[in-house]
Structure 1
Amino acid sequence: MTRLIQPKDIPETLWDAETERIHLAPYLLTAWKHLLQHAGLEQQAMEPVPKGEIGGLGKKETDDHLAWRFSGSSARVQLGFLDPRDELGGVTDAFAKVFSGGTVLVADLPCGSGAAVLTLLTCIAELRRQGCIPRHPLNVRVVGGELSVFARDYASRAMEYIKEELAEQAIWVSAEFLSWDALDKFSTADLTKRLILAGQECSARLMVFANFSGFLQEQGNWENALPQFQNLFVHGRDNNSYAIWIEPQTKQVGGNSGFFSEALDWFKKLFSIFHTKDDQDALQVKNLGKSRAKVQHPLREHQFNVHLEIQRFDLPLKKAKT
Structure 2
Amino acid sequence: MSNRFIPPANIPKSLWSQEFKKLMLPELVVQSWYQIIKRESLEVLAKQTAPRGFEGGASKEDTDKHLAWRYTGSSARVILSMLDPHEELSGIADTYASTFAGNKVFLVDIPSGSGAAAISILCILYELRKHNALPRHPLKIFVLSGEISDSAKNYNDDQLAQLAPLLEEQAIWIECESISWDATCRISTSDLIKKATLKSQGYTNKLLVLSNFSGFLEHHGKWKEARQQIENIFLHSRDVNSHAIWLEPQRKTIPRFVSRLLGLFANLFGGLFRNDNTSSSPHGHSYASTESKCQHPLKEHTFNVRLTVLRFELPERKKI
TM-score when scaled to structure 2? Answer: 0.96
Which residues in structure 2 correspond to 1:73-222 (within 5 Å)? 73-222=74-223
The list of structure 1 runs, each at least 4 consecutive aligned residues, that deviate by more than 3 angstroms after superposition, is 279-286
- Paired residues in the alignment total 318
Structure 1-normalised TM-score? 0.95
Write the letter of the residue equivalent to 1:24. Answer: L
In structure 2, how many angstroms separate the alpha carbons of the residues matched to 1:206 and 1:286?
14
Do 2:288 and 2:310's aligned partners in 1 also have CA atoms closer than 8 Å? yes
CA distance in 2, matches of 1:234, 1:50: 37
Taking the aligned partners of 1:227 and 1:246, their CA distance within structure 2 comes to 20
Contact conserved, 2:88 with 2:290, CA < 8 A, in 1? yes
**260, 263, 268: which one aligns with 2:261:** 263
In structure 2, the residue matched to 1:58 is 59
Unaligned 5+ segments in structure 2 are: none
When the two chains are superposed, the root-mean-square deviation of aligned CA atoms in Å is 1.6
Is contact 2:109–2:210 with CA below 8 Å preserved after alignment? Answer: yes
**Whole-angstrom CA distance in 2 between matches of 1:145 and 1:128:** 28
- Once residues 282 and 94 of structure 1 are traced to their aligned partners in structure 2, the CA distance between those partners, rounded to angstroms, is 12
Is the Cα–Cα contact under 8 Å of residues 5 and 82 in structure 2 kept in the other structure?
Answer: no
| CA distance 1:200–1:240, change in 2 (3 Å) | same
Give the SS at the match of 2:194.
Answer: helix
**What do residues 14-45 of structure 1 show as CA deviations (whole Å, max 9, x unaligned)?**
11111110100111111011111121112221
Ranges in structure 1 where 5+ consecutive residues have no aligned partner: none
Preserved contact between residue 54 and residue 64 of structure 1 (Cα < 8 Å): no
- CA distance in structure 1 between the partners assigned to 2:180 and 2:299 by the alignment: 34
Displacement of 1:52 in angstroms is 3.0
Alpha-carbon deviation of 1:226? Answer: 1.3
Contact 1:100/1:136, CA 8 A, preserved across alignment: no
Partners in 2 of 1:284 and 1:21 — Cα distance?
33
SS in 1 for 2:126: helix
Asked if 1:246 corresponds to 2:247, the answer is yes
Give the Cα–Cα distance (whole angstroms) in 1 for the partners of residues 40 and 51 of structure 2.
19
Counterpart residue type for residue 76 of structure 1: R
Match of 2:296 in 1: 297
Aligned equivalent of 1:318: 317
CA distance in 2, matches of 1:268, 1:107: 22
C-alpha separation in 2, matches of 1:283 and 1:18: 37
After TM superposition, the structure 1 stretch with the greater mean CA deviation from structure 2, 67-76 or 99-108, is 99-108
Q: Deviation per CA, 1:171-196: give whole Å up to 9, x if none.
A: 11111111001011110000001111
* Structure 1 counterpart SS, 2:155: helix
Percentage of identical aligned residues: 42
For the Cα contact (< 8 Å) 1:78–1:123, is it kept in 2? yes
After superposition, the C-alpha distances for 1:163-219 in whole angstroms (9 at most, x for unaligned) are 111110111111111100101111000000111111110020000000101111222
